Structure 1
Amino acid sequence: MTSIAHRPIDELGGPTSVLVRQRTDHVELDHLIRAAHESHGVERQKTVNRLCRLVFPHAFAGESVLWPVIRRVVPDGEAQTLEIEREHQQINELFTELERTEPDSIAYDDLFAQITDLLRQDVRDEEDSLFPELRDALDDRDLRRLGWVWLAVRRTAPTRPHPVVARRPPGNALAALPLTVIDRSRDGLDQLALRAPSRLAARASAGLASLAGGIERIGVLRVGERPDTHITDTHSADAD
């Protein structure tokens, strides 16, 4: 099965196909990872913030729009999406820990290295295995229709890690509205604080983070989750 990584756009359903949109995000992801590794201090933090605003809406749109379709139309879709949900869960947990870690410290570098390894593995799992099967299962019109729905969800999705919320509908869908409002408010405050250090902006962002943490723990937001999504070592878990 041929990876979608370098296939022509017309073979993937056209420029508005969900496969092309996903691949475009993956290219930007690689660019931001490289930029974050090469920068330090405030510039690095700005790049990591941009990375979050790409990674989490992208993953949320995939989990909400694409994975349910894949589980219906791809023969091994359940197993493949579960593997990727596990990767997404680990990325959420590691980014949550990264937010609490001193920037430019050895611990921060170690955590970020783990995150980038997982992000790159996630891209390969999608482009080399999952998406070629989706391409074979759907026609161009269906891929374009999914592309527009995926884009709409991506533009209105949370932009921060939320490891407690379900990786599947309906829990993640129910969490979207309150967490998106909070996350995007924090994004604005954090950008302000990076441009001109402000204790007030930092405190407001921390308060919103605490609010988001409380919302995450509302029981209904876990509905739909596969319990084994939280298995930490995904590859060894599948081998056992």
Structure 2
Amino acid sequence: MNAYLAAGPGAPARDRLWRDFVQLVFSHAFAEETVLWPTLRRLAPDGEELTRRVEEEHQAINDLLARVEKDKDDPRREEWIEEAFRLVREDIRDEEDLLLPRLRAALDDRKLRRVGAAWEAVRLAAPTHPHPAVSRRPPGNALAGVPLSGFDRLRDLIAVDSPAGRRAALALGALAAGAAVAAWTRRTARRRSR
């Protein structure tokens, strides 16, 4: 965020910094929503209330970043970006001051490392762009996340500013999602047959 703001309007690095920011925000938030917050809801008496607040923050960020991605030529774009940065900073404070200390208090080192490893695995496979209509909670977010992640990661690799690029990314994303579903189905069938 600081590097983006320091680059100044029109700087060539800004587009890359923005893409990096968006990818980091969404993969990070998706992993929190899929791994950390369900754990906190199970362990902390006020976990439901706390995670609901953070999910609302995540949704506001998601909606705002979707608007920034959709309306690239809107004169309010820089205002939206600064607002997104403000919301992300608030989200970080809430998580570091409220949520993560509760997880730390509820889990021993071994369990905390396992939760951290699960978070990292989900983050590496998470969607990298805003999808405002996707549920913030499992299993809805996880089910939607598989095809969206494939689509997003292909979208990150190829230009999708053209209709042909969007069709190609969509087709490749659908193919990747189909492969993931097939692998999951085979693994589930093998487990059941044991």
TM superposition score normalised by structure 1: 0.66
Q: Distance in 1 between matches of 2:61 and 2:75?
A: 19
1:109 equivalent in structure 2: 78
2:130 equivalent in structure 1: 161
- Once structures 1 and 2 are overlaid, which stretch shifts more, 203-212 or 77-86? 203-212
Q: Distance in 2 between matches of 1:106 and 1:151?
A: 37
Matches within 5 A, 1:61-72: 61-72=31-42
Matches within 5 A, 1:3-14: none
Q: Give the letter aligned to residue 80 of structure 2.
A: L
- Do the aligned partners of 2:134 and 2:144 also contact (CA within 8 Å) in 1? yes
Residue 59 of structure 2: which of 89, 97, 108 is its match?
Answer: 89
1:207 equivalent in structure 2: 166
1:135 equivalent in structure 2: 104
- Do the aligned partners of 2:4 and 2:14 also contact (CA within 8 Å) in 1? yes
Give unpaired runs (5+ residues) of structure 2: 175-194
2:152 equivalent in structure 1: 183
Q: Give the letter aligned to residue 189 of structure 1.
A: I
Q: Give the letter aligned to residue 75 of structure 1.
A: P
Aligned-pair CA distance for 1:106: 4.2
Q: Give the letter aligned to residue 153 of structure 1.
A: V
Q: Give the letter aligned to residue 160 of structure 1.
A: H
Bigger relative contact order, structure 1 or 2 (CA pairs below 8 A, ≥6 apart) = 1
Residue 53 of structure 1: which of 20, 23, 27 is its match?
Answer: 23
Secondary structure (helix, strand or coil) at the match of 1:89 reads helix
- Do the aligned partners of 2:155 and 2:169 also contact (CA within 8 Å) in 1? no
Q: Give the letter aligned to residue 161 of structure 2.
A: A
The alpha-carbon distance between structure 1 residues 131 and 210, as it changes in their structure 2 partners (threshold 3 A), is same
TM superposition score normalised by structure 2: 0.81
Identity of aligned residues (%): 46
Kindly report structure 1 stretches of 4+ aligned residues shifted beyond 3 Å. 208-212
Aligned-pair CA distance for 1:67: 0.5
Instruction: Count matched residues.
Output: 170
2:13 equivalent in structure 1: 43
Aligned-pair CA distance for 1:101: 2.7
- Do the aligned partners of 1:189 and 1:205 also contact (CA within 8 Å) in 2? no
